[in-house]
Each structure stands twice: as C-alpha cells, then as structure tokens.
Amino acid sequence: MEANVTTIDPITVRCARREDVAVIVAMLADDHLGRARERLEDPLPASYFDAFDVIDRDPNIELVVAEEAGRVVGCLQLCILPGLSSQGASRGLIEDVRVASNRRGHGIGEQLVRWAVERSRDKGLKLVELLTHQTRVDAQRFYERLGFQRSHVGMTIRY
C-alpha cells in the first residue's frame, strides 16, 4: 500500500489572476503532450492573455489555481455547461488539470479536483465529466480513486 500514500499539504484554491498566466502556461507545457503545443516564451505570446481575458469574463468558466505558501503550484478549469438532457441539468467539464512537476505526490491535484467536484455538486449539477488522454494512465487511476468512472470514450479532432 505504501506506493499509494499521499502526503496532503493544505493548499488554497482561488480564481486565477492575469499575473498567474505565465506560471499556468509553464505547467501546461511541462509534460510530454503539452511541450509540443505550448509556446513558453518571454514575453509570453499575447494569445494566452487574450484567452485569459475571455475566460475571466465568462461566468460559466472558473479557472482556478492551487496556491501553496504564496506560490501557484497547480491549476484546473471548470466549465458549467447548460444542456437539455437529464431534465435540463447543467453539467460540469473539468479541463487542464496540472500540478507543478516538483510538487507532485503531495495531494495538490486531489484537492483541486475535489474542489471542482464539490463546486459542481453545490451548483446542482448532475454530471461532471472530463477527458484524459489514453496515454495518461496514472491520471485515469487518479480520477478513479476520486470517484470518476471510465464510462465514456473521449474522441477528438485536432487541427
């Protein structure tokens, strides 16, 4: 069982601010899939800040960060999506979950995801969904541990 022991260091989950964009992008870029997709330059491409402004104005989207001792060490985006199915219940979509590579294994991702699940339940959602890449086997086990089921196939077209 020892391999599954996780130290839980308490974090603060708060809304992302414009000055967090660079550290969020650094986390998005810091894995085998993100590396090819992001442009971690200084200064950061304006497209990231433009996207942040759109997110920030959208009442249905919450981009949050995990803060630990004043440092941003994780992020997550929760989208609240209205729909007709399930008697008109909105659903939650969790995206872009990342933890800083030097802070993994401390329960930060778990606290972020639990925050999103509780937030979804508080808002009366009947369903929370996410897509995780086939190759992210550890992530799939992680989500199963937090109560998610591998119920769907996630299909994508990427341009």
Which amino acid would we find at residue 9?
D
Q: How far is the CB of 11 from a copy of itself (least distance, A)?
A: 19
* Cα(113)–Cα(148) distance, integer angstroms: 11
Q: Which CA distances in Å does 85 have to 51, 81, 155?
A: 29, 11, 20
Q: How far is the CB of 80 from a copy of itself (least distance, A)?
A: 10
Q: How far is the CB of 155 from a copy of itself (least distance, A)?
A: 4
The nearer residue to a copy of itself, 107 or 139, going by C-beta atoms, is: 139
Q: What are phi and psi of 23, to 5 degrees?
A: -70, -30
Task: Evaluate whether 97 touches 78 at the Cβ level (below 8 Å).
Answer: no
The nearer residue to a copy of itself, 9 or 38, going by C-beta atoms, is: 38
The nearer residue to a copy of itself, 6 or 132, going by C-beta atoms, is: 132
Strand order in the sheet with 12-15: 12-15, 61-68, 71-81, 91-99
The nearer residue to a copy of itself, 104 or 127, going by C-beta atoms, is: 127
* Cα(132)–Cα(75) distance, integer angstroms: 15
Q: How far is the CB of 123 from a copy of itself (least distance, A)?
A: 11
Task: Evaluate whether 23 touches 102 at the Cβ level (below 8 Å).
Answer: no
Footprint on this chain of a copy of itself (rule: CB under 8 A): 21, 24-25, 28, 34, 37-39, 45, 47-52, 54-55, 58, 60-61, 63, 77, 79, 81-90, 93, 95-96, 117, 121, 125-134, 140, 143-144, 147-159
Q: How far is the CB of 105 from a copy of itself (least distance, A)?
A: 21
